[in-house]
Structure formats: structure tokens, C-alpha cells
Structure 1
């Protein structure tokens, strides 16, 4: 008698739970990534709200940076009534910095700070 439990495989664990129509590219309509046009005229940049995102990056921060991020999140909640997670704060910060870079170029905060860090 085999004492090992029979466990489901990855195909069973990660299968779609609802019937979906699949297009020619194999993506369910609801999960198909939105087309991106990197050459379109830039509109106002916004961070994305809390949702399922299709891409992920790992960013390493110092203890002080993480503490400052958490303090900012708590301040947004306490003083402004905004209940957001750290990821949302980071996405908004990225959107603000990238919009500034597009708008101001050489005079952007990002360029100035990076130049100061590298000593150029």
C-alpha cells in the first residue's frame, strides 16, 4: 500500500475556473494584455489602481526606505483618508517621476538626482 498522498498537478491547480472564450492568440478575452503603443502621444501618466498586474519586478530597498514608504502609506491613510498599499504608492511615484522626465527632460528631478548620485 502506497502511503504517499495523491496531490493535484500544476495543470489542475492553475486551470481557468470559468469558461472563457479564447481568441486566436490563446488568451482569454478577460486576461488578454492591453495593446501598448509606445509611440503614441503621451497623455497624463497615472499609476495603476489595485488590480491584477501582468508584470512584476523586484526592487531592493534599504530598511530606512522601506520604513519611509510605510510611514507615507500610513500618513496617506491618517491625514488624507486614502487607504492604499505600498505597491500603489510605488506605482504612483513611478508615474510622477516618469511624467516629469517626459515633460522636463534634462531638468527633471530624476535626471538631476541621478546626476548628483553619479557625480557627473
Structure 2
């Protein structure tokens, strides 16, 4: 006689869990020079999908590993991308038409 394993129902697996009070993630506050800081390591509510080439992914992973090995910074790829976005947007806000973003986008 085969034995059946008792498994939880789907309702049990996908039930909402009781949430403990988590501190509200503060919006990015401006740095002392007036620029916004990247969000860093907080729970992010928004998601965006970006497709990159395998070479770009390897470059990103290489940068992450260098940050860890040479600077002692254990960060994930998402954090590196958020920091890079913050830098590019700060440069764009400060320099406008002379920013690296505008220059690179007009070179295409």
C-alpha cells in the first residue's frame, strides 16, 4: 500500500503573513551639496526590468567583485546599478546639456 505524503494546501503556502512593523523607508534625502542620495539597502517597492548584453553583465559583475576585493564593499549588482543611476542623474541635473548622459546618448 503506497504511503501518501501530506502536503499543505495552496492556501496555506500562499497565505498573507503577519507583518511586523517595519520602519518606513525614508525617501532619498538630498546630500549636503543638494543632490539626492541613492536608496541603498532598503526594501524597494518598485521594479524595473532592463535587458543588457552578456558583456555588460560581465562588466557589472567584475565591478562588483573589484569593489568587494579591493574596497571591502560587499554589494549586490542592484546596489551598483542604483548608485550608477544616481551618479548619472546627479551629473545630468548639475550639468544639463554638458552631462555625460547627454553626450553619450547623442553619440549613438
Per the shorter chain, which TM-score range?
Answer: 0.7 to 0.9
Q: Which runs of 5+ in 1 are unaligned?
A: 21-29, 37-41
Structure 1 residue runs of 4 or more that deviate by more than 2 Å after TM superposition: 30-36
Quote the Cα distance in structure 2 between the aligned partners of 1:80 and 1:31. Answer: 29
Quote the Cα distance in structure 1 between the aligned partners of 2:61 and 2:27. Answer: 33
Matched residue SS, 2:10? coil
Q: CA deviation at 1:48?
A: 1.6
Q: Which runs of 5+ in 2 are unaligned?
A: none
Indicate whether 1:88 and 2:79 are aligned.
Answer: yes
Q: CA deviation at 1:52?
A: 1.1
Alignment correspondent of 1:17: 18
Q: CA deviation at 1:47?
A: 1.8
Indicate whether 1:72 and 2:63 are aligned.
Answer: yes
Alignment correspondent of 2:9: 7
For normalisation by structure 1, the TM-score amounts to 0.69
Alignment correspondent of 1:116: 107
- Root mean square deviation of aligned Cα: 2.8
Q: CA deviation at 1:19?
A: 6.2
CA 14–116 in structure 1, closer or farther in 2 if over 3 Å, else same: farther
**Cα pair 2:25 2:43 within 8 Å, conserved:** no
For normalisation by structure 2, the TM-score amounts to 0.76
